[in-house]
Chain A
Amino acid sequence: GNSVTQMEGPVTLSEEAFLTINCTYTATGYPSLFWYVQYPGEGLQLLLKATKADDKGSNKGFEATYRKETTSFHLEKGSVQVSDSAVYFCALFSASGGSYIPTFGRGTSLIVHP
């Protein structure tokens, strides 16, 4: 079956540091890839997405590139802020019979200190 593996957290950084959160996946076919963010006490929000190989998703300074050769979708940000502290989930949606079946990773907690 499909699976998503994320790096263990928490990731602890100082403000303005560079962020990388690794995500690799296993799936049949050509899934769409997503990053969701969950701020404390809130529901999941879509951060960015990429639907085919070599696509780059970006939003709010975050970026991720769909790498089919390495089956990866690593999340990066050049300069993190305290407000980026949250849990980040990598996910894939695999097309099946006209629908998309989602699979989520375990999540990576990011803590940014001033």
Chain B
Amino acid sequence: EAGVAQSPRYKIIEKRQSVAFWCNPISGHATLYWYQQILGQGPKLLIQFQNNGVVDDSQLPKDRFSAERLKGVDSTLKIQPAKLEDSAVYLCASSYRGDEQFFGPGTRLTVL
């Protein structure tokens, strides 16, 4: 069974630029999560989708972050414009039943 795929693995941008991350969940997993993991901290949930509907986005900074999951399969997370404090690893995870998550390798973003 293929795991959760994410791209790119690494991204370096300057502040005020925009960036997008892509995630393809495990086939058949209805729930998809985006997390932000700052160095030395645990993952912080940004947004959770159930199929193509949003379940929770209370911690998503909506003035600069956006996410979509068209057709209930793969998803993109966008940051526009980026700030220095957005430097982090962005993790995507998917779940079949919602009580066990499978994580992708993450995208390491550096904002200069």
**Residues of A participating in the B interface, judged by any CB pair closer than 8 Å:** 4, 32, 34, 36, 42-46, 49, 51, 89, 91, 93, 96-107
Contact = CB atoms under 8 A, between A and B. Distances in A.
A81 to B, nearest CB: 23
Contacts of B48: 99, 101-102
A49 B97 CA distance: 14
Nearest to A9: B40
B105 to A, nearest CB: 5
Given A34-B100, A43-B105, A96-B56, 11 more contacts: A43-B4, A44-B103, A45-B103, A49-B100, A99-B31, A99-B48, A99-B55, A99-B56, A100-B95, A101-B48, A104-B44
B98 A44 contact: no
B101 A102 contact: yes
B21 interface: no
B98 A89 contact: no
